[in-house]
A and B are shown apart, each in its own frame.
Chain A
């Protein structure tokens, strides 16, 4: 028997409005259609009506989790147009913020995924750790979200005392290596629930253009921090975890391994933190020109395009978030799975609908 189930846009299983219409035959999913746009705020339209200093605050609100990535990417685009060199110390502080934000994002996601798998204990542990990352972010920036760290030509605040960051990173690495990764890779309940579920083949991953951990879980060895190093990523040592399964388990494992790599990066950056200024001074406009910048956000590549006409207001700001690239692949992932797997498959994507809609 064929039937259609609408899930959303307002649904108890969704933190943000979004709609997936699932076509089923019996319990088997044969197709799906997606509807987004419920969080559309017209941020790109607004950005063309605000000066670049206001735009930093505006773009930081694209996402509630990876807010730092957006203000940083905007500043890096302006810096590329203006040929502005960020001081070494400013670059290193940006890296600490970016990797702390990745820890925050991955731990939050691991908690949500654990809850959907039915592992309440892991959910509680992950959210406890996530809380400590937010404490570290607050210690550095003064804020738990929307950190206001970035400015054109550097950062707004220095790291005077790195002890809180080091303490948090040490604790996260110990729990991830000692508990989380062994559990995700050996526990029969987790494997039974996640293995072979929501498979995205390498071929589908390419044609759908997925990014970040979703791409890496489908065997695509990509990471802009290594492939096109920005800031001081070319000077630190880290691995890019890649899995070939393409299923929920592969996506779970990739993100868990990335938590350890982020901890390694933060430790190295703090060890080699150079002395000197953290920004280049006041900058309120850049010359006419255009540029794109891509950086590796927690959920994958984020793309910014900015056109300047030389005034203090951008002529055009284009934002392509990682969730915008990843969410359409749900159509391929849910096909030939059971209706009961749909929530887990969606969660394994780590989607952000506010980012997507902007």
Chain B
């Protein structure tokens, strides 16, 4: 499937930007999106977390098909868990573990989410800490 066919199959309102196509969606639909991406042999690129000013987190998943970037973005209330896509894309394992390490996001559906960058026992949310605050 081409990037355009994949967008049509996923549905929703996609916005074209200089860096690719973006879809505002609910985090609960990310597994379905991932399955369609895999069917299209899309390359999984990254997960990006962006803290919002008030008790929320923006999470975006990025894929590539033939050089075209397709991004699904979701706004989460603080503390809300999101579905894992590791069973679909094993390559997302490190991205999810790192997102947990940096922003304390919980991914559901995994056997466990061990630390990737932090030491065993360190508190998740390393990038949320203030200057001088220890892990």
Contacts and interface: CB of A to CB of B under 8 A. Distances in A.
A327 B117 CA distance: 14
B100 interface: no
A42 B95 CA distance: 16
A207 B40 CA distance: 12
Interface residues of B, number: 40
Q: Is the interface of A mostly helix, strand, loop or mixed?
A: mixed
B104 interface: no
29 contacts: A36-B116, A37-B116, A40-B118, A42-B127, A45-B126, A45-B127, A45-B129, A48-B127, A80-B19, A206-B38, A207-B38, A215-B43, A228-B67, A291-B17, A292-B20, A292-B48, A292-B69, A292-B71, A301-B64, A316-B48, A318-B46, A318-B49, A320-B46, A320-B95, A324-B94, A325-B45, A328-B91, A328-B93, A357-B117
A211 B43 contact: yes
Interface in B90-128: 90-95, 102, 115-119, 126-127
B90 to A, nearest CB: 5
A320 B45 contact: yes
Contacts of A207: 38, 88-91
Interface string A186-227: 000000000000000000001111110001000010101011
Given A316-B50, A328-B93, A328-B94, 19 more contacts: A45-B126, A45-B129, A206-B41, A207-B38, A207-B90, A208-B90, A209-B91, A209-B92, A224-B67, A228-B68, A291-B17, A291-B18, A292-B19, A292-B20, A303-B62, A307-B50, A318-B49, A324-B94, A325-B91
Contact of B66 (A37, A227, A329): A227
Contacts of A222: 43, 67
Query: Which 9 pairs from chain A and chain B are nearest by CB?
Result: A227-B67, A209-B91, A228-B67, A209-B44, A37-B117, A208-B91, A320-B46, A40-B117, A292-B19
A179 to B, nearest CB: 34
Contact of B91 (A36, A45, A210, A220): A210
B102 A44 contact: yes
A37 B19 contact: no
Contacts of B48: 292, 305, 316, 318
A85 to B, nearest CB: 12
A293 B64 CA distance: 12
B54 interface: no
A209 B131 contact: no
B131 A301 contact: no
A72 to B, nearest CB: 16
A164 interface: no
B41 to A, nearest CB: 5
Interface of A: 36-37, 40, 42, 44-45, 48-49, 80, 206-211, 215, 220, 222, 224, 226-228, 290-294, 301, 303, 305, 307, 315-316, 318, 320, 324-325, 327-329, 357
A228 B127 CA distance: 31
Most chain-B Cβ atoms within 10 A of its Cβ — which of A292, A325, A329?
A292
Nearest to B101: A37
A211 B62 CA distance: 14
Contacts of A307: 50
Contacts of B126: 42, 45
Contacts of A293: 19
Contacts of A324: 94
Contacts of B41: 206
Contacts of A329: 91
Interface string B68-98: 1101000000000000000011111111000
A276 to B, nearest CB: 24
A301 B64 CA distance: 11
A209 B43 contact: yes
Contacts of A318: 46, 48-49
